[in-house]
Chain A
Amino acid sequence: MGDGRSTKEVKALVRRAKRFGIQRMIALGDVLYYGASPSRKQIQTLNNETAKIVSMAPRFFIGFCYLNPTLGERAVRNEVDRCVGGKGFKGLKLEIANNARDACMKPVMEAGEAYDVPVLQHTWSQTKIKKRSFHSDPEDTCLLAKRFPNTRVIMAHLTGCGFRGVLAARGIDNLWVDTSGGSPEAGIVEHAVSNLGSDRVLYGSDLPIRDLPAAIGQVSGSPISSRDKENIFYQNAAQLLKLV
């Protein structure tokens, strides 16, 4: 197995995903390849790779533009213009360059609003990890969404956000949480549906570090209604990304 970048590997992934009913997949890029805080040039390289992968199956992949907010407003805006404006990417992706509470997030959120694309923020409970200076806790991402109510925010990693993260996300109209991240822990999907409503939960796999059938099975095997599953697997993302 290679690193997932070759045409052969990408096409094999598309075939396997389609076999399990996946119609569209968001490509986020190899965001930790250069570490937590990549340079402007490294960001461009990663986004160019995403664009290349999207070009291999343009009706299947949707590109998100990876950003490092600590590079400053000009770098952020130029990269968003290049990728969202120029390449047709449909979202912005943030990892662990900084905490979502930081002031450097303002240009990112303004760009998200200007282009009307969602901002996907990596989020994980910091109760145990304790790296909050650059790693966002669910309460940080929820605060980000509250500060910028006109920008749609996806809080990544439901399992990593945990039960406390779900409770923090209640009542925020511009916030969604995705089911990716961690082992298929029981109870968390129905907890999210119960507290947020199934229209606030998005299916996510975290490929390639997670097993695709297991990621799907975490949702399909949870005790929620068929309608809730349809919302999580398809409807919410289709509406959020304006695919329908």
Chain B
Amino acid sequence: MNFIDTNAWSGSWPFGPVSLIDAEAPRVSRVGYEINEALVSPFDAVFQLDPMPGNRANFKALAMLRSFRPLPIINPATPAWKDHLEEISDHGRVVAVRLLPAYHGYSLRSASVKKLIGELAEKKLKLVITARLVDERQEHPALSIKPICVAQIKSFLDKAPEVHPLIQGLGAHELNELSTTQGAFSTDTSFAEWEDTLRVLKKDIPVSRILFGSLSPLQVAQAQIDKVRLSSLPKRQRDNVAIGNAQSFFDI
């Protein structure tokens, strides 16, 4: 079974002894697995208000790894975000940008996010939003970062139904709450969980809008792969979650 990992990370994570913490992590973590391609964002941009040093280091680290595509981070709360977007979009392999509202301290309802959406449409770049990176119940004591709340996501989707973002890091209960929203969105498998996860999620969101995301190296890649590979859904649907839906979403 082949996978595209839409939620892979490089760089160092300061709050835990993850197994693989350098820029080689995505390459190392796929050994023995079936991850053909990964969209990789830099941890080094998560805790920096200027994400560009992290993005540039990520571009450099992945330059020779053709099956790893950089997924750079934009912080629309910085005055320079338009310049950053220009620089990022000049990079031929970029197909999307990632937002981290909870870590960079802005709302999806902010005016700059609205402007950014217009710019992304012009540049034909997709939008990926991280709702959470770690389970807030086990967060490091120095941190108190709440995931993006469902009400904010609902409001965002309802006001911009044309956007269709990929929202990652949502729990099964949050996806259930979002099932009635007007705007379309896709999600990933990183935090959504229940016994036979995909079959349960299918009740709230079409399978065509569920994409594989490992959140590697913060989470065990094998566990995330097996969540999809060993689901009781028909093989065609599992293949779509593993790879087909990502190909369609990102047009890759």
Q: Which residues on the A side are within 8 Å of B49 (C-beta)?
A: none
Check B18 for interface membership: any CB of A closer than 8 A.
yes
Contact of B219 among A162, A185, A212 (CB under 8 A): A185
B194-222 interface (Cβ within 8 A of A) = 194-197, 199-200, 203, 215-222
Check A113 for interface membership: any CB of B closer than 8 A.
no
Contact B227 A208, beta carbon cutoff 8 Å: no
Q: Which residues on the A side are within 8 Å of B220 (C-beta)?
A: 184-186, 189, 217-218, 221-222
Given A16-B232, A162-B138, is A223 in contact with B227 using a C-beta cutoff of 8 Å? no
Give the 6 A-B residue pairs with the shortest CB-CB distance, closest first. Answer: A221-B222, A217-B223, A184-B223, A213-B226, A213-B230, A217-B226
- The residue in chain B whose Cβ has the minimal distance to the Cβ of A190 is B19
For this complex, 28 residue pairs linking A to B, each with C-beta atoms less than 8 Å apart, are A1-B203, A128-B137, A128-B138, A128-B139, A128-B141, A159-B135, A159-B138, A183-B219, A185-B218, A186-B216, A186-B219, A186-B220, A187-B18, A207-B195, A208-B194, A208-B195, A209-B195, A211-B193, A211-B194, A211-B227, A212-B230, A213-B223, A214-B226, A215-B223, A216-B226, A218-B222, A221-B221, A221-B226
**Smallest CB separation, A161 vs chain B (Å):** 9
Check A87 for interface membership: any CB of B closer than 8 A.
no
Check B136 for interface membership: any CB of A closer than 8 A.
yes
A185 to B140, CA, bound (A): 13
Given A160-B137, A213-B229, is A218 in contact with B223 using a C-beta cutoff of 8 Å? yes
**Smallest CB separation, A162 vs chain B (Å):** 5
Q: Which residues on the A side are within 8 Å of B20 (C-beta)?
A: 186
**Smallest CB separation, A182 vs chain B (Å):** 6
Check A106 for interface membership: any CB of B closer than 8 A.
no
Given A184-B223, A187-B18, is A210 in contact with B191 using a C-beta cutoff of 8 Å? no
Q: Which residues on the A side are within 8 Å of B194 (C-beta)?
A: 208-211
SS class of chain B's interface: helix, strand, loop or mixed? loop
**Smallest CB separation, B147 vs chain A (Å):** 13
Q: Which residues on the A side are within 8 Å of B35 (C-beta)?
A: none
Contact B219 A184, beta carbon cutoff 8 Å: yes
B residues contacting A by CB (< 8 A) are 16-20, 134-139, 141, 190-191, 193-197, 199-200, 203, 215-227, 229-232
Interface residues contributed by chain A, number (CB under 8 Å):
38
Contact A217 B195, beta carbon cutoff 8 Å: no
**Smallest CB separation, B160 vs chain A (Å):** 29
Q: Which residues on the B side are within 8 Å of A190 (C-beta)?
A: 19
A residues contacting B by CB (< 8 A) are 1, 13, 16, 20, 124-125, 127-129, 159-160, 162-163, 182-187, 189-191, 207-218, 220-223
A160 to B217, CA, bound (A): 18
Interface centre among B138, B196, B224, B230 (most CB of A within 10 A): B138
Contact of A184 among B17, B199, B200, B224 (CB under 8 A): B224
Contact B225 A217, beta carbon cutoff 8 Å: yes
Contact of A214 among B16, B19, B137, B227 (CB under 8 A): B227
- The residue in chain B whose Cβ has the minimal distance to the Cβ of A128 is B137
Contact A211 B137, beta carbon cutoff 8 Å: no
Interface centre among B18, B196, B232 (most CB of A within 10 A): B196
**Smallest CB separation, B15 vs chain A (Å):** 10
Contact of B230 among A20, A163, A221 (CB under 8 A): A20
**Smallest CB separation, A72 vs chain B (Å):** 31
Contact B16 A187, beta carbon cutoff 8 Å: yes
Q: Which residues on the B side are within 8 Å of A185 (C-beta)?
A: 16, 134-135, 138, 218-220
- The residue in chain B whose Cβ has the minimal distance to the Cβ of A164 is B141
- The residue in chain A whose Cβ has the minimal distance to the Cβ of B190 is A183
**Smallest CB separation, A98 vs chain B (Å):** 20
Given A183-B193, A211-B193, A213-B229, is A128 in contact with B218 using a C-beta cutoff of 8 Å? no
**Smallest CB separation, A219 vs chain B (Å):** 9
A218 to B195, CA, bound (A): 14
A212 to B137, CA, bound (A): 21
Contact A209 B19, beta carbon cutoff 8 Å: no
A237 to B232, CA, bound (A): 27
